[in-house]
Amino acid sequence: MDLGIKGKWALVCGASKGLGLGCAQALVADGANVLINARGAEALEAAASSLRSIPGAGKVLAVACDITTPEGRAAVFGAAGGPGKDFDIVVTNAGGPPPGDFREWERDAWIKAIDANMLTPIELIKATVDGMAARGFGRIVNITSGAVKAPIDILGLSNGARSGLTGFVAGVARSSIAGAGVTINNLLPGAFDTDRLRATAKGQATKTGKPIEELLEARAKGIPARRFGTSAEFGAICAFLCSQHGGYITGQNILADGGMYPGTM
């Protein structure tokens, strides 16, 4: 299927690996130019060269910076050869907050989580959405988490910050921009096989003394699909939402979790 995004400019944040890279790969494969971002320059450059090797790849730019800071966002929007703030597609993403016990989180921990997982996507939307509306096409996909629908107690920082973003998106997606060809959706990963998932399992392995592969196998068995999702699957869903065909889907929370969420809706 031709997604109709050839030559469009996409900003994909947190894209040196994992779900962000999966989204960048799918967008590049469908002909979009991309500017990818992550903090570590070396891993980001490696990701950029792998994207450039995709057949038919357009422009691939890489800006190493922390997207949760004003300086990071200024670097992304000021990148030489990039579209400035005139992105047609924006995929917001940054690392998730650490797990823990809410009794131990002071104000600083909350501000950090809210900054990364709520205010940064809002700033990126604010910077790009009016230009998209003026040009009559725009797609914003926020990578959030299945924990927005089914909260996990130890992920309280994530549950709280991402729910704030979810509420904001529900309103703005239905504002006047909806009539100007701009959609905003949240894509909610369940368990996907990325470094983050493995790092969490490694922490559990250290705590419990159980081998990491045993823990991963047990977790995968608990998912109706009996496996973890792949970044490629996640990227394909993201690319569809960013495509011309996704123009009538807005303000939605799309869960990709192999059937893990038990509710009817």
For the beta carbon of residue 233, count every other beta carbon within 10 angstroms: 17
Range 172-175 contact pairs with CB under 8 angstroms and sequence separation of 24 or more: 172/125, 172/129, 173/250, 173/251, 174/250, 174/251
Single residue of 82, 96, 235, 258 touching ligand NAD by CB under 6 A: 96
Task: Find the radius of gyration of the CA atoms of the chain.
Answer: 18
Distance between CA atoms of 207 and 204, rounded to whole angstroms? 5
Residue 67 engages ligand NAD in binding (rule: CB under 6 A): yes
User: CB-wise, 5 or 38, nearer to ligand NAD?
Assistant: 38
User: CB-wise, 116 or 124, nearer to ligand NAD?
Assistant: 116
Residue 68 engages ligand NAD in binding (rule: CB under 6 A): yes
Residue 238 engages ligand NAD in binding (rule: CB under 6 A): no
Residue 133 engages ligand NAD in binding (rule: CB under 6 A): no
Residue 37 engages ligand NAD in binding (rule: CB under 6 A): yes
User: CB-wise, 155 or 177, nearer to ligand NAD?
Assistant: 155
Burial of 223 (0-12, 13-18, 19+ CB in 10 A): middle
Residue indicated by tokens 């730019």 = 61
Q: Could you tell me which stretch among 24-32, 94-102, 125-133, 239-247 binds ligand NAD (CB under 6 A)?
A: 94-102
Q: How far is the CB of 47 from ligand NAD (least distance, A)?
A: 8
Distance between CA atoms of 143 and 255, rounded to whole angstroms? 10
> Which DSSP string corresponds to 80-109?
TTS-TT--SEEEE--PPPPP--GGG--HHH
Q: How far is the CB of 159 from ligand NAD (least distance, A)?
A: 11
Q: How far is the CB of 249 from ligand NAD (least distance, A)?
A: 20
Residue 191 engages ligand NAD in binding (rule: CB under 6 A): yes
Output the CA torsion sign for 119, 124, 128, 129. Answer: negative
Residue 94 engages ligand NAD in binding (rule: CB under 6 A): yes
Residue 19 engages ligand NAD in binding (rule: CB under 6 A): yes
Q: Could you tell me which stretch among 176-184, 188-196, 206-214, 245-253 binds ligand NAD (CB under 6 A)?
A: 188-196
For the beta carbon of residue 80, count every other beta carbon within 10 angstroms: 6
DSSP element (H, E) containing 253: strand 253-256
Query: Given the rule CB under 6 A, which residues bind ligand NAD?
Result: 13-20, 37-40, 66-68, 93-96, 116, 143, 145-146, 189, 191-192, 194-197
